[in-house]
Amino acid sequence: MEFTSFVTRGTLERALHEKAGAQHKNTKEQQQQQESNHKQPDISNFDDEDEDTRYVNDDSESSAASTPLPQRHHFGIPPIPLHHLRSSGHGRLYVDPLPPTFEPESGCQGVVESMDDTTPSSPRNLATGIMWEVSEEKDNESSELGDDALPLTTYIEHNFPQELQATMSRILHEVQIHHVFPDSKEFVDMPLKHDPHIICEHWDSMIAELRGATTSPGDGADAQPALTLTRDHLVQFVSDNFAPPGSDAEVCSTFDDFVPEPALLDKIPDPEFKKWAYALHHLWPVFGRRTHPDVAKHPERYTLFPQKHTYLVPGGRFREFYYWDSFWIVKGLLLCELHQTARGIIENMVDMLDKFGFIPNGSRSYYLNRSQPPLLCEMVMHYYQHTKDDKFIRQVLPSLEKEYKFWMSTKDKTGGHGVKITLTDGSTQIMNRFSVNATEPRPESYREDLQLVLDLGLQTKEEIHAIYGDIAAACESGWDFTCRWFLDFYNLNTLHVRDLLPVDLNSIMFKYEKNLSFFWTEIMNDKARAAPYNKSAEKRKQAMRELMWDAEDSQWFDYNWKLKAKKKIIASSNFYPLWAGCFDEDQSGPSVSELAKGQLLGQGGLSGTVLYTHQQWDYPNGWPPIQWFIVEGLRNVNSSDSLKLAEDLAITWLYNSFAGFEYSVGKMYEKYDVRVWGFRGFGGEYEPQDGFGWSNGVCFAFLEHYGHKLVSKTYSEMRQLDSVGYFHEIKSSFMITTGDMRHILRRMNKQMTQCLKPDMPGPFSMTPSFIAHTPTGEETGVFYSVHLGKGMDLRLCRVERRHTKPLRTTIFDKSPDFSALHNHSLSPKISPASPSLSEYDPLASPRAGNSPTVGRTDKPSQNTNPSLKVAKKVIPINKDLITGSGEVLFDFIAKSLRGFLEENGDLAAYEEDNSNNKDNNSNNNNTTPAEPMPVAFVFGFPVQQTSLSSARLTKWTKGFSARGVEGECLTDLLNKAFEKENLAKVVYANSVVNDTICVLVNRLFQDPDCIMSAIIGTGTNLAYYERLRSCKKLEKSYRDLCTYPRMIVNMEWAGFGDHKDVIPKTKFDVLVDQASSNPGEHTFEKMTSGPYLGELCRYILLYLMERKAVRKIKQLEKPRTLTIDNMARMIEDSSKELSDIKVLLKESFGFESLRRERKHFRRAASVVLERAGRLFAAGIGAVAMRRGVVEHATVAVDGSVVERTRLVYFRAVQRALKEIFGTNVHVRVVYTKDSVGTGAALVAGLEAAHSKQSQQQQQEEEEEW
């Protein structure tokens, strides 16, 4: 199948245009479509007069849809243009930040971080209920509390009387946006300790007390001062008024019908797998719950619904039962002979169905606006097949019909779950979709949804309601979230769940109709009542063939009923009609063959889709329900090929689950990574959960049919062959996806803008260098530099630059350019998932014909400029000098420079020139004295700089503590030392710079396209040319007088990621951080540079030793025993036997290694460096995009890490840049070896030439005046 045969570009652009702009227009066609949707379903025995029982308080005349916007915009959100966003990163719904230019309307409250300097800087506006940044938890975050009305969530309306709803909404809002709990679900699961009116009184009392504390003397009696509400206040309030989550239910120690050893265990002859199945069976009571008696007595205090019978929760954070999870739990209970418990769960659901008119997503009041895939009827069918209980069928059949009617309705507020479709023969059929009437944030994801709306920049109430509705509809589907629901497969702003008729839902509805027909025919003996269901099922089958079946691709696809087009994405759900029996003979064979091709199949099972989007229902995650639907579908086809494939898939999943249980010492996961055995999946809006109810149920379903085929010896042999499996968990945790890089890039750009302003907190220093001029080619002569702060050495450099042709200057001054990123994401090249594990080798050379064209890297550049003559010298510094008198230290620098001048003949040449000048003057030739040579001071310590030549040390670091230097001007100290050494007429210090800036200037003299430089050594930093008008840390008068449009800015980016969960961290990062001298600081540096990379590699190897994948090496338990040089040798060893690694391990640790162990050493070094390179690519991409030069720019790089590992490092950068921007980007990464001293000397020459030019210009102006 060709992946390019998906939705066409024209269709996509048309749909995106409609989504972004045309949705505000209520055209006649839309009105006609709405009227069409409100017609009766095509089943004669049903009417829709009471269908709206789904919605609590639905009889109210007012609704959110008709409520006008408040004066200060909905939820206080200023109008922001729609823009593209993305979904990625470790389970969160990520969106791209705001477009580069944004100015709030006059009078709008609230602040949004943006890349435009005009944007206000306050991080939040709690008065109107929006928190702009929510991921950072602060100990004492505060806000001003306003009185604006907040949206009433479903559970607020359900639980509390009208007079308390506003206050309870405020409590919910403040607790959630202040990040009192890391998981938003935590708070809404907490029972109230008191009656709601008492809670509200406590709140009002606290607010009144805070207002009184902030009232100033002289305020009028009616004054309402803004109060400061901090997180500490809320933590105390919650502790006083709310009980812990989970206290609303009691854990069951056992069940009344529990059978210690069900007959199913006898079908498993292998003792190891039988022991495992026994353990799973005895986990059932662990998930069992009974609602606390007080829940029924005081329901207003709880979000949990009281239940008559015992129920089972999925596990982990899920403390209530869930609708479709319960199907596989019931299936497992029935197989384990817990018939009474299974029936109780079904009766609990029937009770909620009778009460609410539908079964909520879960058994809490905040789920009252949505359901989940309607599997109740199938649940009842499975119960009947196990018990033959006709009486129970008669009891629940009216309720089943009620639920069917709910799902077939076309007349609720959002158009209903039913959509009437006209087929080619002119007949009509109601098909089904997921559709939710949600106009507010999900209470259990409140903070995340508010942030999402903000980041999307939605302007109108209709847009906000639409995104909330589609998010809730995705949750109703159970597949929250997946590329199936995104119009362009990747971006959340194209979420369009309600526009789709999903294959899986319509398969379930087909089975629902067939089951109802069976119950009426076989149990009730009423064929007349069965006929409409049977007729609708056959008509649905016809419609699915016409709308969804694709003969060329041999599978069904979701159907966009608005665009009238199939949505061609390969997904497991495409094959659910096989399970439902909704297929013809000419469909079953080809679809089985298509499945057998293995596009969805990994080593550990079937993934949700083939696309790697970092949404949790996409590749590489495999979910138990998916495996069950597909295996049962293949069994249903009942051909030799399908039965063999079903057996292979089931046994694969059982081995995968068993491996996870074995690795984790007794845990079952909610989802698994199908690329390998035994590892849990990742992604989602919450941390991956252990448990897990449906995982156990699916395993029992497979054990029933295939338990006799499990052999532990075969499993062990297969595990031994899976040597990559040991390392897979580590590799997955270190993976930085394309979405992650784009998110990092955007966040970095926003924070750069913030940090360019004075007195603004942030991760970057963004210090102006006062180098605003660029080389012209006229800078000739001899220049010097002295470098203090790199180790315990003084580094001296002499540069002689001869005259060359003028240099062109092409530093771009474009606006921030996001088009490359957007265009690339809007027209994705659909490709199957990500590389397999065997292909995921950062050391692999680019294949022939596929060599990357982006991120080109040059060979090392060292003194390759023919116009330069360079000499260098390194002089050790005595320890007494760095801790003694500052005057002595600077005298030592001056003496050292004198010796260097003498060695290079410059002192003698200067004296000779002056002598000749004196002779000429005596002969009345009027020659001027020889000019002194400029010296740049590379100073590797914190300074406060007010000009290029004026910088004061703020604090010694790195073990230096020389007295009398802190607070002093460094050039003054150095020039005084020169004067004492009789060098004042020979040399003079004219600039103070740092090493990163020197790398940039050095490259500028060779390549005028160089706009940034980076150092990646023992630490890391970046410098680049920024627009002068953006450098708000400079005095306005300076900016007004400066004639240059740009200036080099020193970022100091080591601390990026310190205070926000921007960069995904691994447990190894945590260990490195905890063992460092500055825990919690310099996050970016610890992931990309120097000794930290060696430590990351060392911790990975220690972890592998614990797993017994590598034998123990005691020396590696000591810190700093693995260096970047060791890692370089590991990754450079490409021999079959990895012989160089073998020698390295023998020489360094006395370790006689096996080949498989050496492979782990090489892999550990590779994944650490691969991630470092991808993070670096995101950083330089942020600057290139900010300057609008992603299509043409040079980056100069120096430092020990790239010197030793540049082959792997630069390849990682190449791949990453290509992923971020596509093939149109040409960012040239150049390694400039040991260029700091040379660059510093050139800074001195550049500044001297600039000063001379300025003096000449001033003299000419004076003469002209």
pLDDT of residue 115: 29
Spatial distance between the Cα atoms of 182 and 173, rounded to a whole number of angstroms:
14
Q: Which of 394, 1066, 1125, 1149 is CA-nearest to residue 731?
A: 1066
Do 575 and 591 meet the contact criterion of CB atoms below 8 Å apart?
yes
pLDDT of residue 87: 28
Block residue for tokens 């590991």 = 1130
pTM of model > 0.85: no
Average pLDDT over every residue of 678-682: 82
User: Which structure tokens are listed for 776?
Assistant: 């012209």
Catalytic residues: 480, 670
Spatial distance between the Cα atoms of 566 and 586, rounded to a whole number of angstroms:
20
Chain segment 894-931, per-residue pLDDT in tens: 999 999 999 999 988 888 876 766 555 555 544 456 78
What would the 3-class secondary structure string for 285-307 be? HHHEEEECHHHHHCHHHCCECCC
Q: How far is CA 430 from the centre of its chain?
A: 39
Among the ranges given (562-576, 968-982, 1208-1222), the one the predictor scored with the smallest mean pLDDT: 1208-1222
User: Which structure tokens are listed for 990?
Assistant: 């004219």
pLDDT of residue 845: 32
Do 629 and 855 meet the contact criterion of CB atoms below 8 Å apart?
no
The model's confidence at residue 131, banded by pLDDT at 50, 70 and 90, is very low
Does 858 score more than 90 pLDDT? no
Q: How far is CA 1243 from the centre of its chain?
A: 40
Average pLDDT over every residue of 1173-1195: 90
Instruction: For 767, list phi and psi in degrees, rounded to 5.
Output: -85, 125
Spatial distance between the Cα atoms of 1111 and 1101, rounded to a whole number of angstroms:
10
Among the ranges given (379-393, 402-416, 691-705), the one the predictor scored with the smallest mean pLDDT: 402-416
* Residue 182 burial (CB count, 10 A): 12
User: Does 70 sit behind a cis peptide bond, omega within 30 degrees of 0 on the bond before it?
Assistant: no
User: Which residues lie below 8 Å from residue 1058, measured CB to CB, with a gap of 6+?
Assistant: 763, 1080, 1081, 1082, 1083
> Within 13 Å and on the Cβ side, how many CA atoms surround 385?
12
pLDDT, mean over the chain? 81
Q: What letter does residue 852 receive in the DSSP assignment?
A: -
Q: Tell me the C-alpha to C-alpha distance, in Å, between residue 166 and each of 311, 446, 598, 1037, 1050.
A: 33, 16, 54, 51, 49
pLDDT of residue 79: 27
The model's confidence at residue 835, banded by pLDDT at 50, 70 and 90, is very low
Q: Which of 497, 439, 1024 is CA-nearest to residue 769?
A: 1024
Block residue for tokens 């001007």 = 969
Average pLDDT over every residue of 1179-1199: 89
Among the ranges given (60-74, 221-235, 342-356), the one the predictor scored with the smallest mean pLDDT: 60-74
Chain segment 156-211, per-residue pLDDT in tens: 988 899 999 999 999 999 999 998 998 899 999 999 999 999 999 999 999 998 88
* Residue 1240 burial (CB count, 10 A): 33
User: Which residues lie below 8 Å from residue 1174, measured CB to CB, with a gap of 6+?
Assistant: 736, 741, 1212, 1213, 1215, 1216
The model's confidence at residue 226, banded by pLDDT at 50, 70 and 90, is low
Based on the number of CB atoms within 10 Å of its own CB, is 242 exposed (0-12), middle (13-18) or buried (19 or more)?
buried
Among the ranges given (317-326, 812-821, 869-878), the one the predictor scored with the smallest mean pLDDT: 812-821
Taking every pair of Cα atoms in the chain, the longest distance, rounded to a whole number of angstroms, is 132
Q: Which of 379, 339, 331 is CA-nearest to residue 704?
A: 331
User: Which structure tokens are listed for 815?
Assistant: 């606006």
pLDDT of residue 922: 54
The model's confidence at residue 1039, banded by pLDDT at 50, 70 and 90, is confident
DSSP per-residue codes, 721-784? H-TTHHHHHHHHHT---HHHHHHHHHHHHHHHHHHTSTT--SS---EE-S------S---EEEE
Do 1122 and 1116 meet the contact criterion of CB atoms below 8 Å apart?
yes
Does 1215 score more than 60 pLDDT? yes
pLDDT of residue 47: 34
Instruction: For 641, list phi and psi in degrees, rounded to 5.
Output: -65, -45
User: Which residues lie below 8 Å from residue 519, measured CB to CB, with a gap of 6+?
Assistant: 393, 397, 400, 530
Chain segment 1006-1036, per-residue pLDDT in tens: 888 899 999 999 899 999 999 998 999 998 8
pLDDT of residue 223: 47
Spatial distance between the Cα atoms of 431 and 504, rounded to a whole number of angstroms:
12
Average pLDDT over every residue of 480-508: 91
User: Which residues lie below 8 Å from residue 1085, measured CB to CB, with a gap of 6+?
Assistant: 1019, 1020, 1054, 1055, 1092
The model's confidence at residue 805, banded by pLDDT at 50, 70 and 90, is low
What distance, in Å, lies between the first and last C-alpha atoms of the chain? 79
Chain segment 1150-1163, per-residue pLDDT in tens: 999 999 899 999 99
Q: What share of the chain has pLDDT > 70, as a percent?
A: 79
Spatial distance between the Cα atoms of 624 and 689, rounded to a whole number of angstroms:
13
For strands 933-939 and 781-788, give the pairing: parallel
Among the ranges given (432-436, 453-457, 659-663, 805-809), the one the predictor scored with the smallest mean pLDDT: 805-809
The model's confidence at residue 695, banded by pLDDT at 50, 70 and 90, is very high
Average pLDDT over every residue of 940-950: 90
Instruction: For 420, list phi and psi in degrees, rounded to 5.
Output: -80, 120
Exposure string (b/e) for 495-525, b if CB count within 10 Å is 16 or more? bbbbbbbbbbbbbbbbbbbbbbbbbbbebee
Spatial distance between the Cα atoms of 1094 and 464, rounded to a whole number of angstroms:
48
The neighbouring-strand residues paired with 673 are: 621
Does 34 score more than 70 pLDDT? no
Block residue for tokens 């990646």 = 1016
Q: Tell me the C-alpha to C-alpha distance, in Å, between residue 1192 and each of 81, 118, 782, 823, 882.
A: 29, 28, 32, 17, 44
Taking the CA atoms of residue 552, residue 554, residue 559 and residue 565 in that order, the dihedral angle to the nearest 10 degrees is 0
Q: Which of 757, 755, 816 is CA-nearest to residue 1181?
A: 816
Does 814 score more than 70 pLDDT? no
